[in-house]
Chains A and B, each alone.
Chain A
Amino acid sequence: MKRKNALALVCAILAVSAVFAGGGSDGKKSDGKIILKMGDNLPDRKNGYGAVIETINTEFKAIHPEVEIVTESYQDQPWQEKVKIYATANQLPDVLKYWSFGGMMKPLIDAGLVEKMKIADFKSYGYMAGSLEGNVFDNELYGIPISGDMWVVYVNKGLFKKAGVPVPTTWDEIIASAPKFKAIGVTPMVTNGKEGWPLCELFDNISQRINGDFKRVDSAINRKAKYTDPDFVQAAAYMQKLVKAGVFQENLSTSDYGDARNMFGQERAAMYMMGSWEMSLATDQNFSEPFRNNLDVIKFPVVKGGKGSADDVLAWFGGNYIISSTSKHKDIAYEYVKYLGKRFGEIAWETQACFPAQKVTPRANDTVVSKKLLQIAADAKSTSGTPGLDRSDSVFKEDHQELIRQLCALMITPEEFAKKLDASAARAATQE
């Protein structure tokens, strides 16, 4: 008897579970609300970009009460991986934060997965010259730009004072300062070494500081030049010099985005090499007030004897927002994107959250960091455009990142690095 009851109970549980197990939402909740699915690389919803998007979402839902927004957020590289997985599974969210680089947009566009937009709808939103255009492929607009990105170095003035080191303008000064920082138990500089791409930016930037010309990278990709040319090999060797001098954190190759940022925010490092989108460090409540007061940003340093100047800025319009063509709610998604375009720049600058792709009005109470960033942008004599690793296909990008990681882990020589990178660029060029 007992067993029969137990069996009956088990069957009941199974039956109930099976009913729920099949559950898949088709985008509509039972109370008739439209669920707009979004995906981005902004896991922190209380600071920076994430906070701006949350504000926009709240405002949008107030205007459109029938809409429910569900967002999933990952860090950078996991998000890029997820997009590929979703594209393969035909499960892309309705609206995605993505990147406007050709190497990333084209595969999706060619597979017909991105919805077209009308450029006229966005002309009045104050986008900086070149930003909207960067999202045009085959004469169609496929996304709206989100940020103006510049490659800079954030510094903690307090730690510099403590170590008795002046704020640097050249990489040679940074190398010289390493022992002084070690003496007070602080890492000189941190960056996200696990994913590799910040080191690729470093490579592009150091190359320019040596050869004085951002277009060299483009030439290498287009096979009018080679990565095995002496200026690039020199840049690779210089990067190893930085690593050997102890400029970066010891666990560079396993230090991911969050880890590096934390080390800087917790004052375990004096410098943080990252992009202008991190200007929200100045308002991040997770970190101490002394830290935030000591925060400053400097132009990417120069290399002594090199041809590049501090006003040659590695800059590009990176992030964008796109709509997937498989979305079941394209109209509402488009309304959202238009609203995003309208409000993002204003809110972003008002809350000093990040550096948008739209023109902003400087204010007296902007943070030290934002004022400096505006200054760096204004002083810029030449800009790079899309970074090297994103100018080609997926395989080249991964190869570039993998090789840079090995270079900085001192596992290969600069010559080997150059040879393999060049081979990958050559392979990519023949794929077309």
Chain B
Amino acid sequence: MNGMMERKPMIAQKNYVHEMVTLRIFATILLVSIAIAQIFPFVWIFSYSIKKSGDLFGPELLSFPGNPQWGNYYKAFFDGKIPLYLSNTLKIVIPSVAFATILPFMLAYACTRMEWKLKKLVWLLVVVGMTIPIHTTLLPNFIWYRTFRLLDTHLGLIISNVAFSMSFNTIVFSGLLAGIPRSMEEAAFIEGAGYSVILPKIIAPMATTGFVTVGVQTFLSHWNEFIMANTFLSTELKRTLPFSIILFSGQYVSDYAVQFACMTLVALPPLVLYFILSKWILAGVTAGAIKG
């Protein structure tokens, strides 16, 4: 009896190891191919952005030119008004990400850790709010925001951005906050500390992964927000970064290389930020997934 029991796990393990080796080889090939598929489009665009436009029609798949036309980037940067649009995007994104992180944190705290009458109703609103698409407010906001003189303003976009991030971010925070034992606040309260101390100094640090997840996700979505900015902003001086690509598809319609240079430039900021923060981002997102 005992002998049999010992042999079974050994055999199972051996088969398992065999499986592992072949799978390993197959897996590596597959994974590398996918990696190529993910970044190849980007590399392709970049390679043609430093060529001359006509070269695009040649038969080669991908080639890097002997004499890179960096002038294309110069044109893309200045004619595409990248500094202006970049500063506009920052003006919108910094406040909107900040508020879209702090306000949901506050709301989640109240909904998960405090007792009050309308709690269930507000929570229902939060959950329902997540299902509402941005585009359903595009049309009515023309009337609504116009009344408050919010059309064609950066403030209007900030408000909309924050509003649409509230639901998801609140839910993420609530998942994290629910697990904290009440004793944390109680101990601090006994020591004489009020909420102005408890929240930032005790609770917030415990939700760091939440802040990271929420911060990153919100940053990416607000940074790349396009349709509201495109529809509501009319003054050219106020436009945001994605618009420079649209601008180029008209103005430099014959000059593909410059268009591609513009696309590369616009894609860079979030990409660079992502590389810098990637460790945090990956950790935060995976943690968020578990709590989500």
Contact = CB atoms under 8 A, between A and B. Distances in A.
A adjacent to B, CB under 8 Å: yes
Nearest to A88: B142
A7 B253 CA distance: 46
Interface string A36-74: 010000011100000000000000000000000011111
Given A43-B247, A43-B253, A262-B254, A89 B200 contact: no
The residue in B142, B152, B235, B246 that gathers the most chain A C-beta atoms within 10 A of its C-beta is B235
The residue in B54, B151, B232, B254 that gathers the most chain A C-beta atoms within 10 A of its C-beta is B254
A219 interface: no
Interface string B270-283: 00000000000000
A277 interface: no
A405 interface: no
Contact of A73 (B235, B238, B251): B251
Nearest to B247: A43
Contacts of A71: 236
Contacts of B154: 20-23
Interface string B219-250: 00000000000011011111000000011011
A14 interface: yes
A159 to B, nearest CB: 14
Interface string B151-165: 111110010000000
Nearest to B98: A14
Contacts of B146: 89-90
A89 B158 contact: no
B102 to A, nearest CB: 9
Given A43-B247, A268-B57, A20 B235 contact: no
Contacts of A258: 249-250, 253-254
A89 B234 contact: yes
Contacts of A17: 91, 94-95
A414 interface: no
B91 A20 contact: yes
A3 interface: yes
Interface in A79-96: 85-86, 88-91, 93
B251 A43 contact: yes
B255 interface: yes
Contact of B98 (A10, A22, A268): A10
Contacts of A262: 253-254, 256
Contact of A25 (B231, B235, B247, B256): B235
A389 to B, nearest CB: 22
Given A21-B92, A22-B155, A45 B255 contact: no
A287 B254 CA distance: 8
A265 B53 CA distance: 12
Contacts of A20: 91, 154
Given A7-B200, A21-B154, A89 B251 contact: no
Interface string B198-235: 00110000000000000000000000000000011011
Nearest to A72: B236
Contacts of A183: none
A266 B250 contact: no
A288 B53 CA distance: 12
Contacts of A292: none
A86 B233 CA distance: 10
A375 interface: no
A70 B153 CA distance: 17
A24 interface: yes
Contact of B254 (A14, A37, A75, A265): A265
B249 A75 contact: yes
A72 B98 CA distance: 31
Contacts of A22: 153-155
Contacts of A259: 253
A13 interface: yes
B158 A21 contact: yes
A284 B151 contact: no
Nearest to B94: A17
A379 to B, nearest CB: 31
B231 A85 contact: yes
B253 A37 contact: no
Contacts of A378: none
B94 A13 contact: yes
Contacts of A72: 234, 236
Contacts of B232: 89
A24 B250 contact: no
Contact of A89 (B94, B142, B201, B255): B142
A187 to B, nearest CB: 12
A349 to B, nearest CB: 23
Nearest to A286: B254
Contacts of B247: 43
Contacts of B201: 3
A37 B238 CA distance: 13
A37 B250 contact: no
B95 A261 contact: no
A89 B254 contact: no
A70 B151 CA distance: 19
Interface string B138-176: 000010001001011111001000000000000000000
A18 interface: yes
6 contacts: A24-B153, A24-B238, A71-B236, A86-B234, A89-B232, A261-B254
Given A21-B92, A24-B238, 11 more contacts: A10-B98, A14-B95, A18-B155, A21-B155, A23-B154, A23-B238, A24-B149, A24-B235, A43-B250, A286-B53, A286-B255
Interface of A: 3, 7, 10, 13-14, 17-18, 20-25, 37, 43-45, 70-75, 78, 85-86, 88-91, 93, 257-259, 261-262, 265-266, 268, 284, 286-288
